[in-house]
Amino acid sequence: MFRRTPPQRPLFAVENRLEAAKRGRLERSWAHAYRRDALPLIDEERFAKYFDEGNGRPNKSVRLVMSVLVLKEVFNLTDAEALEQLEWNTAWHYALDLLPEEAHTCQKTLHNFRAKLLGDDQGAGFFESTTARLIEKAGLSTRRQRQDSTHILSNIRLLTRLGLFVSTITQFLEALRKAHPRLCAEVCEEILGRYLDREGYFADARSSEAPRRLADAAVDT
């Protein structure tokens, strides 16, 4: 069920829990520019088509998920690292205008949102135009890597393909281990470590690592 992010700001917002000097430093950081100029540019209505209007569980805030995907690319993080920043980093809470107890989502949500975007040409256009506006308004640094919307979407495509490879190999190995444990034991430890022992961790790559891991996964397949 599609649910818009509530427009009302929290009464006990994260900045109100900080002493004045620390709050001042936060207001001079990238997080303030992102919240003031970039966050309002995310038009959640454009993504409503991916969710049923009246059935099912309410969706995770589109504004939150979009922001995590953008900041993951800007700071070159894995999904796990981005989700950890969302969970514990005060600057991220401030940038996304969240209470600390609201600052949570799961890796599956990020993966599913990426897949929805890539499965719909119009959805990809939504993301490209939104991220271009966000980056421009937030004044985010692009010195370390090219971070326009086309590049971010390209990274998302790579990570989604990598996730599909890993999911396929993992499911095959799990079925093999269950039906033919002796044969599974003959699979080299490196392959088992990538896809079983670390429960798909091999798919959780920084964008800068994704091309190499994708090539490795293709060979493993």
pLDDT digits (tens, 9 = 90+) for 130-171: 777 777 776 666 554 444 444 555 666 666 667 777 778 888
What average pLDDT does the chain have?
Answer: 79
Query: What does each C-alpha distance from 140 to 34, 114, 143, 165 come to in angstroms?
Result: 8, 22, 9, 32
Q: State mean pLDDT over 19-24.
A: 90
**pLDDT beyond 60 at 201:** no
CB 58 within 8 A of CB 3: yes
Q: What percent of the chain has pLDDT over 90?
A: 14
The total of other beta-carbon atoms located within 10 Å of residue 203's CB is: 28
**According to the model, what pLDDT value does residue 86 have?**
96
Identify the residue with better confidence: 36 or 111.
Answer: 36
**pLDDT beyond 90 at 200:** no
Whether the CA torsion 103, 105, 106, 112 is positive or negative: it is: negative
Q: State mean pLDDT over 51-55.
A: 74
Q: pLDDT-derived band of residue 87, with 50, 70 and 90 as boundaries?
A: very high
**According to the model, what pLDDT value does residue 95 have?**
93
**pLDDT beyond 90 at 88:** yes
Identify the residue with better confidence: 214 or 50.
Answer: 50
Q: Which residue, among 50, 221, 185, 52, has the nearest Cα to 127 in the 3D structure?
A: 50
Query: What does each C-alpha distance from 217 to 47, 84, 206 come to in angstroms?
Result: 31, 26, 15
